[in-house]
Amino acid sequence: MRKAESGFPVEFASANVSGFGYEPADFRAGKILYADIVHPEDLEAFNFGVISNSERGIADYILKYRILTKDGEVHWVEDRTLIQYGKNGRISRYIGIVSDINTRRELAEKLKQEKQKFSYLLNSSRSLIIIMDRQGKILETNERACTSLGYSQEELLKLAPSNIDTRYGNQFPRQVKKIFQKGNIAFETSYLKKDGTSIPVEVEAHLMDYEGRSTILTVANDISEQKQIKKDLSNSLKVNKVLELIVSSSPMVVFLSSPREKRPVEFITENIILFGYPAGAFTSGELAYENIIHPLDIEKVRDNLFRNYKEGKNDFFQEYRILTASGEVRWVDEQTFIHSDEKGDIEYLYGTVIDVTEKKQSSDFLRIRRDTGTALESTDVLQDILRQLLDLALEVEPLDSGCIYLMGEANGELKLKTCRGLSPAFVKAASGFGKAQGLVNLFRIGKPVYRQYFELKKMASLETPPEEKLRAAAFIPVFSGGNFAAVMQLSSHKADEIPESSRKQLETIALELGNEISRTKEKAELQQISSDFQGLFKSIKDFIFIVNQEGCIVHSNPAFRKYLSYTEKELLGRNILSFHPQNRVLEAAKNFSEILEGKTFLYSVPFVTRDGTEIFAETKFSKGSWRGQEVLIALSRPRPEE
């Protein structure tokens, strides 16, 4: 509760004002006025808000501004003020309810960032994405949908589902009901473009929470190319020899098999040798197709065939692993066509199989890069960065343990900084490398080393305990600004080798680590420069002060404060015109206006100290930026009285 007086003396403050570090009694005793805790930069706006609302007769208003806690922390608050009037109709007091809204503002900022991420993910997709409500109103689309269908986003948001897909028509409510019952459905259809042409698409429709309500997310992929492949395949099966000549020279394997258990093969192209198997091994019955499917994926492949057949589909795609003749695991994408007899029973299966291992590895590679960026967004502390990057590296198969060493700038030795998955005895034994190790010299030329751990142990002359039982291992050098800066030691207790695809991911993480080491060094250097600048600013004997476009002081140097006999807190937010003789304020205001308009940069009105003494000075103003706002920077040298 505040009196309607200058500075707002407080008659009553609730006990929870201690949350800001103040005692209620200090307010009641007049030791602290309410204006004392308002942030200096917000005080003028606060006063204006109180006065303007009071003058307009508004009895209940809300202001948002910053306050300073007793410890100097800045908190945003929401102040709801009720104005109480006395018998004479004059304002007798203000009753304020002040709420700390720091957390709410932080949540609002996080929500804004999440929306930006959602928009980025939506528009980076190569699929046509449309979000609609249960009535079919389109709420959101991505750029791919707009460009593929030929509409602007504004045009697309005004369309009904039936304008895009004629199969909807009056069936849309039934489709919606089906989606809400099953959670998701998949189907093929054609989308109509603005120019009247159509494109075949494969659509997956899912339930999705969007802005607090249940909506339908449709993700469509253009399958024009797949349709053409299917058509070509159907025609080619009629001329088997031509098919063999074409397909055998491509990475796509074509097969025809029985639907019986294990899928015995009746025909398969010669290029199955890409996986190490001769075609004759299948057609002779020595091998069935399921014999080469990874044991962990066999049930999934069987279930997919049965489910798609039950749903009445004639063809479908699935991705799974196979084992090559040498035992290597490869990922394949199979398109299967189901040919049924007159009774509807499966007569035979035919289709294509293509190796997509490299594509899968690229996808994992991109995920690692994305996760690396996400992990590093939340910290600038080098030790935290090291821990987070090590955690990311240990997500790469088959790794389960490791540590990171940093090069000491003073002694040039590698010292252990963080580790995971290793025993205390191991960590103690492997705490660092010496200067003259041959392995360190190898690191300096930038060459990663992938070996069995016992080999690396010898190269590094490490006396680590044998009971650790490490097998595959890697030492990956890290460079920062072109200089050798660190080493990532990564290892596995379960595998004997780190595959090539995993090595690429690890070297990417090492590259990111080098960038982060450079960034933290640059930040430290920048902080030092800033500290040096502040020291210089404080040591200058001339007046230096900074004002905003309204003439309010936002910063000043010690010399200016000393001559005028004011503290930094007292100057902050005060208008520069209040430090001139009363009889020259109009002259100063005109002079300041001309400086803002760029007509002059000189300012020769004397300053007045706290005790009324005039200080003659010639001041030069220049435009600049201070903490994100446009300001005027003033340099003034006191001179003898004229």
Q: What is the mean pLDDT of residues 290-307?
A: 88
Provide mean pLDDT across the span 78-99.
78
* 7 DSSP assignment: T
- Supply the pLDDT for residue 528: 66
Examine the pLDDT at 263 and tell me if it is beyond 80: yes
CA distance 44 to 98: 18
Percentage of residues of the chain with pLDDT beyond 70: 84
In SS3 terms, 246-268 reads as HHHCCCEEEEEECCCCCCCEEEE
Q: Which pLDDT value is given to residue 552? A: 93
The residue to which tokens 């997956």 are assigned: 204
Other beta carbons less than 10 A from residue 296's beta carbon: 10
95 against 606, higher pLDDT: 606
Locus of tokens 């309410």: 34
> 408-451 pLDDT, tens per residue?
776 677 888 888 988 888 888 887 765 445 666 667 777 888 88
For residues 253 and 354, is the Cβ–Cβ distance under 8 A? Answer: yes
Q: What is the secondary structure of 414-475 as a DSSP string?
A: EEEEEEES--HHHHHHTSB--TT-HHHHHHHTT--EEEEHHHHHHHHT----GGG---EEEE
DSSP-based three-state secondary structure for 330: strand
pLDDT digits (tens, 9 = 90+) for 12-63: 777 777 778 888 887 787 788 887 888 888 888 888 877 788 778 787 878 8
Contact yes or no for 389/490 (Cβ under 8 A): no
H helix and E strand count, the chain: 21, 26
> Residues 207, 180: contact at Cβ < 8 Å?
yes
**pLDDT averaged over the chain?**
80
Q: CA–CA distance from 76 to each of 44, 422, 498, 524 (Å)? A: 16, 46, 52, 30
Percent above pLDDT 90 for the chain = 1
Mean pLDDT in residue range 142-147: 83
pLDDT tier for residue 113 given thresholds of 50, 70 and 90: low
pLDDT average, residue stretch 150-159? 86
CB distance 549 to 596 below 8 Å: yes
Most confidently predicted of 119-123, 496-500, 532-536: 496-500
Q: What is the Cα–Cα distance from 206 to 210, expressed in whole angstroms?
A: 12
Pair 550, 575: CB distance under 8 Å: yes
Residues 357-402: tens digit of each pLDDT: 777 665 555 555 555 555 444 455 778 888 888 888 888 888 899 9
Contacts of residue 334, Cβ cutoff 8 Å, sequence gap at least 6: 317, 318, 319, 320, 351, 352, 353
Lowest mean pLDDT among 72-86, 106-120, 168-182: 106-120
CA 392 to chain centre: 16
Quick: pLDDT tens for 302-344. Answer: 888 888 888 888 888 888 888 998 888 888 888 889 888 888 8
What's the predicted TM-score (pTM) here?
0.35
